[in-house]
Structure 1
């Protein structure tokens, strides 16, 4: 009896299977639907691969279909690459798609600027679905941008690995050399020409660290664009200099601004921190001058390791913006810096850190920090172990905004006897809810020798700077700002960061106030 029932069940299952037509496929007649009719692969540099983009293909019908061909219109010659059902290629036959189902197609491109349309530098192709009159198509478009490429040379080893050109950064505690992948910039490079003069004719893309040799100066013209690959940056060596000669721009295109950012040009990476290394001014670098420069998405925006041993600033900053650093906007160790109209925001630890002492003076600057994770701050000052070598000889902040999404906009860490700082006509966020700093003389806001005519924001609603949108690095202030008209006009001897004149009762921070739309 049991055997008879088992045979009946098997027979019933077989009969059901023989009646199914789920896996019968009909040839597609052109009824596919797509997530987009054009896939824009954004901008890529010549001969550098793009990110991977997706196209979703839908079968909305009640029938299983077989698409006779899915192919790139330019065939094997196309610079685009596809992956369909997990298989790479440029032509696919008989691609099956179940009823009411969908599939993903993944698309990439690597093309030379010579492959693009010479009038607009667009490189295009199509994905064709089907054959004959039932063919459907999706357009592919990307902008190819030519560039100067700066990268360390490599030598192949017998074991087929590579040894890369490197820079010597000194010795570690055990006397071993410290090296980093990179190369010195060359005044007569056979491909790029004079690499110590960055022009604005096309972007520069840097792999590894590009170093300015001793006694040389890297000059960067207005409107230049410099892009850094992951773990890359610029190093200014001992006795070397960098002069960034950006200028005010008349349009939103920032045609005269110099911009340092990542080589990832896709919109999804436009505000991602930590995509590249830093602009590193090493011990002994000298006469570094930066005007109208924007630094975005670095690990440390500017790293200043020491000073040149003279009384003049090792680094002079004017109209400089630094955003989205995963660590610190400006990290100075025993540095000597002067800055006017400096704006820093969204840094993982601090916007400005004057560490290991040094000498600093900032006028009409905005040190904001609206990093999404708490415990970041605006300004950090310390003198390390308090010895004379690390004395904080000067840290003056005049007409500056120091405001953060965390409670404490400033952090002062004193160990020695020489720890000189002064905040003059500044707006400072300092919300000491636990009263742990009430009796700390470093934060005696009533002491005019330390905090002269300062406005203290004791919580998020009192004495607000009224930034337009700090989370988006829009730090211009509005007419409700506590900073409006509260600056010491005797320091307001230069235009604001947008090149607007400061007149009458001037405003604290890098921007004049405006009426928001």
Structure 2
């Protein structure tokens, strides 16, 4: 009996479904409603496809309706493309007789690829409209896209049809050498602020050359892309102070995904790799974000890499990963990295002054500062850590211990922290007898340390590390290590505050 009932039920359902296929619709009366009146597609680069944006269309009536036509106002010439509930229509531009059931909705997915000469010159805007129906029942949804003109740099095709690659040890990666005499772009080793640059693959600086970034230049990296500074070559990042929050004079390295949803997503591109043997590297007023490793500094050529007034945020592994390098840093801010904001490994020589190393990564395995004198492996090899000095710095974050000192006895391990605020909780007295962490009694390595006091940053979740006069870092610096201007170019008072920022009242 149950089996017969199931057969009867199946028959009823089949009968219902077959009847539903020939339902009648009424013509649209122009009473559609939309999830948005205007769809703003975020900034795109000329000739590159945007992300996909969604528009929802509602039929609130009790009738199944037929929309005679859905199309772009510019028709087949539109630079936009759309799909409607998965259907592509005529070239993704026009759709005929679209059915929308009573009390139902449909999705329209929109994207665009625009050339700069299709835009309004004054604002670089490309606009169009999606039109629903026609005549008296016409309804419209506006489309607006900001288009940024850009220089595209990418691996070229070889004569045999393969894509250009770069040798990295025994491996090859998708990449190319920047050409100072490129027939299309001119000097690719000189990045100006006239247009944005978008890089696909790894762009490498040829041996003996210098890549220069002018103040205000913008470089956007695609996935699995980055910059390699080769042996005996150099990088000069020449940003300057900006007058507004737009960082108009800052040099910015970021992902080519410009939508707000991607603003804080780590690992969208590779790294800036200063290879072993690169020389005379100078970085000033740089903002770098959303990489895998921000700056990978691999060895040195007997010269010091200078890093000043630089911000590095949202990196999957490290903000700065140095391997037996020589670095002098001033007014550096790093936050939100999966392993360490600053990693000085395999020995080297380092000096950081008035810098803020924070790490608000959500997992407990991270740290703000990691220092070692060896290279991890099956048989670790050591190198002398001749100096690791931190003056007037803040080392803080969301984890209990934000400083890790990892020493092998085979080589030198020289470190010193002067007038620094450190977060280091000696939970269960685990480090009470550890000679590396004697903050109160070891004057050779620690002087005037503020331990586990909240610096009261304005908002570390959005990478704002300003402090005010209620901070534990306020006026706790040593004037002997003074850098006269902070990261924003504001004059420091005496005694100076710790970290990269001169204190000021928070905005209300």
**TM-score, structure 1 length as denominator?**
0.92
Confirm or deny: 8 A CA contact 2:374 2:381 kept in the other structure.
no
Residue 189 of structure 1 deviates from its aligned partner by 0.8
Q: Secondary structure at the match of 1:42?
A: strand
- Which of the residues 106, 109, 112 maps onto 1:106? 109
Is residue 348 from structure 1 mapped to residue 338 from structure 2 by the alignment? yes
Q: Structure 1: 5+ residue runs without aligned partners?
A: 171-176, 458-462
Query: How many residue pairs end up in the alignment?
Result: 495
* 3-state SS of paired residue (1:272): coil
Question: Partner residue of 1:327?
Answer: 317
CA gap 1:11/1:359 in 2 versus in 1, 3 angstroms = closer
Report the more deviating stretch, 198-207 or 177-186.
Answer: 177-186
Give the equivalent residue in structure 2 for 1:489.
479
Residue 503 of structure 1: aligned partner? 493
CA deviation string 1:235-294 (max 9, x = no partner): 100000001000000111211100000111111111111000000000000000011000
Q: Which residue of 2 aligns with 1:420?
A: 414
Q: CA deviation at 1:12?
A: 9.4
**In the alignment, is the contact (CA less than 8 A) between 2:296 and 2:322 conserved in 1?**
yes
Match of 2:167 in 1: 168
How far is 1:435 from its partner? 1.9
Classify 1:9/1:443 alpha carbon distance in 2 versus 1 (closer, same or farther; 3 Å): closer
2:192 and 2:122 mapped to 1: Cα distance?
Answer: 22
TM-score normalized with structure 2 length: 0.93
Cα deviation for residue 412 of structure 1 reads 0.7
**Counterpart in 2 of 1:90?**
93
Alpha-carbon separation, structure 2, partners of 1:120 and 1:10: 61
Helix, strand or coil: the match of 2:465? strand
Counterpart mapping for 1:7-406 below 5 A: 23-88=23-88, 89-155=92-158, 162-170=161-169, 177-308=170-301, 310=302, 312-313=303-304, 315-384=305-374, 390-406=383-399
SS in 2 for 1:412: strand
Residue 155 of structure 1 deviates from its aligned partner by: 3.5
Note if contact 1:300-1:329 (Cα within 8 Å) is conserved in structure 2. Answer: yes
Task: Work out the CA distance in 1 between the residues paired with 2:17 and 2:270.
Answer: 61
**Is 1:410 aligned with 2:400?**
no
Answer whether contact 1:357 1:383 (CA < 8 A) is retained.
yes
Which SS does the other structure have where 1:286 is aligned?
coil
Residues 351, 13 of structure 1: alpha-carbon distance in 2 compared, 3 angstrom cutoff: closer
Q: Does the aligned pair in 2 maintain the 1:240–1:286 contact within 8 Å? A: yes
Distance 1:22 1:482 in 2: 74
Deviation (angstroms), 1:18: 11
Seen in structure 2, the aligned counterparts of structure 1 residues 479 and 131 have a Cα distance that, compared at 3 Å, is: same
Counterpart-to-counterpart distance in 2, 1:271 and 1:18: 50
Aligned equivalents of 1:149 and 1:82: distance in 2? 25
Q: 1:301 to 1:14 in 2, by over 3 A?
A: closer
Flag structure 2 segments of 5+ consecutive residues without an equivalent. Answer: none
How far did 1:121 drift?
A: 1.2
d(CA) in 2 for partners of 1:14 and 1:224?
64
Contact 1:249 1:255 in 2 (8 A): yes
